[in-house]
Structure 1
Amino acid sequence: MTQPEWDTQILHTPNSLSSTQGTDPADASASPPQSRVALPHRWMVVWVLGTLLALGVGYLAGFLVRTPLDQAQENSHVVIQATATATMHDFVPDIASGTGTIRKGRTITLPEFALPNGDTPIVTERIAKAGTTIASGRPVLSIAGHPVFVLSIPFPLYRDLAPGDSGHDVKALQQELARLGHYHGAIDGDYGPGMAAAVRELYRSSGATPPSASADLLDAVTAAQQELNAATSERPTPPSGDSTTTEDGTNTVHTERPQAALTTALAAAKRAADTPLPRFAIIAIPAKSVDVIKTPPVGTQLSESPDSLHLRSQGTTVTGRLSVLEAEGFTEGDTVTVTVQTNTHVHAEGTLTNLSEFKEGEPDNNIPPGYDYVVTVPADNATEFSDNDGVTITASHTTTTATTALAVPLLAIRQDSNGTYVLTVTHPRDAANPDDHTRINVTPGQQQDGWVDITGADLNDGDIVVLGGGQ
């Protein structure tokens, strides 16, 4: 079968259209359109090449262009070593300060109590008169023949005290009795012979008779003494380790002296029967003295008139607790400035009248360890204060003169088993290379605003130190 002539022209003569322009129209009409076969083939090639080119450009761009995430991932592995310069720095001394609460002069009355042996609480002597001032350690009246003293302690007694007791109440009494010159032992919170002696001295300093132990305890002393007397009046016992022969020929070895055991028992009985301190005998006051506003007349039965005694603490006081560091800036007798925390325009001067011994903290009551203090503010200076105002106290004697010393940032200080030191370099660019570091031992001094005094170290003003992170 012979191939048609028009087909041959399409396949082998791409320009056949121009060569047939002069032919018979009838022949031309027999030829099919040439572009419907050739053009789709060309566009397919162009599309494939364009797609490949776009893919290549996209891959190249993704390889060369770095996103912020890529940069962040690389930075996470970079160790940055910062440096600083040792320089002369001005250190301004910290102003000694603490916080506390305003206590306006308040009325103090007799606490609830019960007399020993069930005695009726009748006023038998009115020692302090209304309108007078009475100091801590002095009696204000006598009840059923028992003197009642005022003592500057932080809280009222909550129990009768006797030899063998211990606690914060005993410790508070020891501190005040020591201040008054009656107690000379350790402030340990234990009611021992020294504390009993101090109680006796408290009573005797006012011409009063000290309290005595209960009849049972005194009887125990008598019984122990009689037993010891009876033992020593009999035939002496051979020394420990010696032996005696009984009538039947048996040897008995003596391992203990009966007198020694009886002597020990007598000493224990005497300690238990030493001078006690009944709860009703002490009225707690917040300062070293109080004003007597009203006292009950002799013959008053206090169970029927419990509000018949009125004492008022003098002036306005500030009470609080200083931390160990805060207390270093204060001394009893210092003049201090008291400022209301919510209104700094309200302030006045007062005197630190009492600074206690160190006291342990009470975590259950959210009370930190430290030193209890009392600041007394004269009445003329305290007119703008309100009861229970939160205040700040600052020591008026504190100097504000700055001292200049060679210092480095706190971040430059390092420590290991060989001591405290800094690392120096000759140029900041050397900070990243541990081989270029030089160790300099230092003794840190005062610190302030992130700087540390290193006076005395083998450093000079301008030396470059490596901050934390170096090896």
Structure 2
Amino acid sequence: MRRERTMPLRRAKPDQDGPADQDGSGPGPEPGPGPGPGPTGGTGRRRRLVVLVAVGAAVVSGAGLGAATLVKSPEQAAADAKPPAASVLTAPVVQRVLANTTVLRGTFAAGQTFAVQPAAVAPSTGGPGGGTPVVSALKAAAGDTVQSRQVIAEVSGRPVFVLPGTIPAYRDMQPGQSGDDIAQLQNVLKGLGISTGGDAKGVFGAGTKTAVGRLYQQLGYPAAVTGEATAAAVHTAQQAVQEQQQVVQDLQDGATAAAGTAGTADTGGGKGGASAPAAADSATRLARAKTLLTQKQQELAQAQAKDGPQLPLSEVLFLPSLPARVAAVPAKVGDKVAAPVMTLTAGGLNLTGHLPPADAALVKPGMKVTVLSESTGRELAAKVGGVGAPVTPGAGTGTGAVAGAGQEPAAGAGAGGSPYAPVTVLPDSPWDPGLDGQDVRITIVEAATSGEVLAVPSSAISSSVDGRTTVTVVAADRSRREVEVTAGVIADNFVQVTAKEGELQPGDQVLVGVAQARPPGASGGTGGAGGTSAGVGAG
């Protein structure tokens, strides 16, 4: 510290003209209004000088202290510029049920909805079929009632008609086939007064083939037929039979001629007749030719049994209950069939969900579904019945596209909003009629664990080049150990993991990333190099 120097006060000299004391010093002059400074004036000036000196010293000391704080060595400046050490991000191992779900909205509507969308043009006695299906006539309008055997539309000149039945058409029903769908067709034909002859139940034989031909005759259209392939097979088999018949005829003629020559030789006593071995060989060749002819005839019968009238998938719509109602007709005459032509409703309540098209590939028939009626709080168990092709509301496609004449139930027409894929939801038990018209939440379970499992955030999973899957457990002392796991269901950014017994427990902290702090002066938060998850904490 800088010392402050003060000057001693000197006593004023005595007046030389005044009396002096005995020791040589007098009392000094009396204060008066003389021209010289008195004692009070000199002291004030000295005090001001002391104050100024003290303030100056304080200023100099403060400036020196400030300079000391601003001046740093190069080593200190470099250390201060370094970013803080990285912070390990961890998350706890949890034990929970994992379910990968898709949530969407849906609406209950009275009656099951069926889409009509012929996917092909069947061959018939009036033409070869094929080509792009085009709407050539609409025979029903929205709101109309539809009865059995009623033609509701024409596509490329071919009829689309309705028949009663609970089994949807899923294939072209052709001669030679068998199954429950064939048995249903036979029952329908008999109910319409058309006999199927002596065909066995569920077998599309000659009698059923004739009955289908009569059905088309009653509808006023040429019968749909199996097409060029079966007709060509019949033609080939017929040629084979004719050729073999000629072979048999030639052998028979040769045998007859040989027998006549032998008789003449015997009568004339000559030696030029056919020998007995030659006659036997001719007989053998004839027998073989006849056997082959029988085989060719059987092949012809088989080819003919598979050829002729059929009931194609693109021309029939089986409905579980009739009469039905036309819900919407989004198509118009002249449209190429790229979406449903018409939608019909029949039966009880149906539920159709609107699924974002991007998620359509994830949803499969049979997946479990939970339906929540938010107005009543009820949860209903169901399953996915089917997923239709994407629909753009207002673009002339009232419902989801379905193969054939549209046996897949589809969404109701006229829904507004964004494009969607219609999802048919089938109940585990019949829907309550009181749900009619309700908008509900549909949760589709794509994958789920059977119970509680160990799970970690997906960012905790590491895969090595040798195919091993691991997580890194971080202990309380920040030490780490790698645990090999088997990954399972993935849901809600969590992954089911299975490790060797005792190596991984609920509550263990696993590494999910490293948070690298930003350099001094940088703005923003902390970025995780390995990613973070909800509930992740920095260690």
The TM-score bracket by the shorter chain reads 0.3 to 0.5
Largest Rg, 1 or 2: 2
User: What TM-score do the two structures reach when normalised by structure 2?
Assistant: 0.40
User: What TM-score do the two structures reach when normalised by structure 1?
Assistant: 0.45
